[in-house]
Amino acid sequence: MKNIVAEIVEVLKSSKDTIELEQRVHKKLGEFSCEILSKALGLLDDELWREYQQQGARSCHRDDRTLVTSYGEVKIKRRLLKLEDGHSFYALDQEMGFMKRQRMSPYLQYCVAQIASKSSYRATAKAVDVLTNASLSHAQVGNILKTVGKAYKAYEQTQLEHEVPIDAKLKRPKVLRIEGDAVEIKGRHGKRKFLHRFQIAEGVEQSGKRHRLTDTHCVSSLNHAEAVRQIKGYLEQNYDLSETVVLSNSDGGPGYGKEVFDEILGATGAHEHFRDSYHVNEKCKQRLNFVTKDLVADLQRKIWQYNEEGVHALLDTAESLAEDATQLEQVKRLGAYLKRNWKYLKPLSMRKTGIRVKGLGACESNHRLYSYRMKKQGRIWSEAGAEAIAKIITGQRNGDLARAMSQHKEGYARKPSREYKDAVRNALKKLKAIPHIGAQMGRIAMNCPSSSAIGRLSQSISFCGINI
């Protein structure tokens, strides 16, 4: 870290253009940050060693570890500690959430997961290479995604196992929306896979001409029973639905009938089930692809007006237009489908609920977050890869992906001493401002010898005419 400022000044002088300049400065600052982070982690390891020493731990030896961060590679030394009960662990790794056999820092893994949820492995590796001082292969990206996906899955399980206190204040919304659907994806060796999803929402807010769900939560799994278990557990952990009107919506496919939602919800104030309008409209288009668009549009209009006579009349018209047995069969199948689901097609305004709300039918649109990444461009998935990317997208959707990764720590739980807590508290306090006139008298406290890293940095900056 010799004369870092002077080195940057030299970079400024010798760079051919602004792009090269920023690239070289970025690299130089990355090297500087890696050195500082290495020293800071070493100091933290010393602090943790003193804490555990008070608990009877002893230091076995120090081991090297290289951590790839967004700044570049960080070389660290940390102690292997052994407790009186024989338990051995690296206190620094545990404190910082550095998992075993993982060279990538948690933050870099988080960034990779964020990018890879919308881009291919190779595109993600390229983005990391361009935007950070780290360099990854597409295979490493895939391994990182599996690690992050497992972390989020473990986090979901932890949340489900959390015991709710008897006096816990559960949510009691007036209305709750719940929807479920499945996304078909391609698996290896020609096998079909289905990603099962459920989502809930408490409200809807308008954003311009669009409506956006609020207070949402979603779950996803390649296993339908697991998805049901997750959404059911989440509702039990967070809601009291005894006085809530629940509006459920689905396409009615296997595993998404009203009886499944009854099982998920349990006791409610009222439960109104709907057949998803998008799938009904698509069914009409597919079955009546031989008639005019106007006739299909009229049929859809009569369906959502809940005009049974008008629907029968239009189906009779479509039947008269059929030119062969195949087309006639399509009309009959559509009629049977509408008859089977008719009670679920009744608009909310015609049901005696006393509520008028919007927001049903959003599950299909939210599929795009998954289908764009997992279905487009002929992508084929292994089960581990598909589950990982689905969990990451779900974590992003719920806004708790970072929390899941930060809570995924391994090791022995230490008990911080009063001295450690006081040190943290004091470190967070604001320093008293030193009176100054202009920038020339600015001062930052330097409680360290001039031979230290910070001391050398101070000398370097002073060399450039800045007083510290």
User: Based on the structure, what is the number of domains in the chain?
Assistant: 3
Task: Domain of residue 449: give its range.
Answer: 430-463
Half-sphere exposure of 189 (CA within 13 A, CB side): 2
Residue 122 inside a domain? The answer is no
147, amino acid identity: T
Residues 420 and 344 in one domain: no
Length of the chain: 468
Residues 455 and 414 in one domain: no
Residue 307 inside a domain? The answer is yes
Residues 311 and 324 in one domain: yes
Residues 434 and 352 in one domain: no
List the chain pLDDT tens, one digit each, 468 residues: 557 788 888 888 888 888 888 888 888 888 889 999 999 999 999 999 999 998 889 999 999 999 999 999 999 999 999 988 888 999 998 888 888 888 899 899 999 999 999 888 999 999 999 999 999 999 999 999 999 999 999 999 999 888 878 778 899 999 999 999 998 888 887 788 899 999 999 988 877 777 788 899 999 999 999 999 999 999 999 999 999 999 999 998 899 999 999 999 999 999 999 999 989 999 999 999 999 999 999 999 999 999 999 999 999 999 999 999 999 999 999 999 999 999 999 998 898 877 877 656 666 666 677 877 887 765 788 899 999 999 999 999 999 999 998 875 554 445 444 454 454 455 444 444 444 444 444 454 555 565 555 565 555 555 444 444
Residue 443 inside a domain? The answer is yes
> What would the two tokens of residue 430 be?
């604001």
> What would the two tokens of residue 279 be?
């799938």
Q: What is the pLDDT of residue 228?
A: 96
Residue 326 inside a domain? The answer is yes
Determine the Cα–Cα distance for residues 421 and 186; give it in Å rounded to an integer.
52
Residue 13 inside a domain? The answer is yes
Residues 8 and 36 in one domain: yes
Determine the Cα–Cα distance for residues 229 and 244; give it in Å rounded to an integer.
21
Residues 6 and 20 in one domain: yes
Residues 338 and 416 in one domain: no
Determine the Cα–Cα distance for residues 194 and 371; give it in Å rounded to an integer.
11
Tell how strand 72-82 and strand 88-90 pair up: antiparallel
Residue 264 inside a domain? The answer is no
Q: What is the pLDDT of residue 427?
A: 47
CB 108 within 8 A of CB 97: no
> Torsion-angle region of residue 329: left (phi > 0), alpha (psi -120 to 50) or beta?
alpha
Residue 341 inside a domain? The answer is yes
Three-class SS of the chain: CCCHHHHHHHHHHHCCCHHHHHHHHHHHHHHHHHHHHHHHHHHHHHHHHHHHHCCCCEEEEEEEEEEEECCEEEEEEEEEEECCCCCEEEHHHHHHCCCCCCCECHHHHHHHHHHHCCCCHHHHHHHHHHHCCCCCCHHHHHHHHHHHHHHHHHHHHHHHHCCCCCCCCCECCCEEEEEEEEEEEEEHHHCEEEEEEEEEECEEEEECCEEEEECCEEEEECCHHHHHHHHHHHHHHHECCCCCEEEEEECCCCCCCHHHHHHHHCCCCEEEEEECHHHHHHHHHHHCCCCCHHHHHHHHHHHHCCCHHHHHHHHHHHHHHCCCHHHHHHHHHHHHHHHHHHHHCCCHHHCCCCCCCCCCCHHHHHCHHHHHHHCHHHCEECHHHHHHHHHHHHHHHHCCHHHHHHCCCCCCCCCCCHHHHHHHHHHHCCCCCCCCCCHHHCCCCCCCCCCCHHHHHHHHHHHCCCCC
**DSSP β-bridge partners for residue 80:** 61, 90
Residues 342 and 436 in one domain: no
Residues 446 and 422 in one domain: no
CB 90 within 8 A of CB 369: no
Residues 94 and 30 in one domain: yes
Determine the Cα–Cα distance for residues 343 and 357; give it in Å rounded to an integer.
19
Residue 367 inside a domain? The answer is no
CA angle 202, 203, 205 (to 5 degrees): 155
Residues 2 and 84 in one domain: yes
Q: What is the pLDDT of residue 129?
A: 92
Residues 19 and 95 in one domain: yes
Residue 435, judged by CB atoms within 10 A of its CB (0-12, 13-18, 19+), counts as: exposed
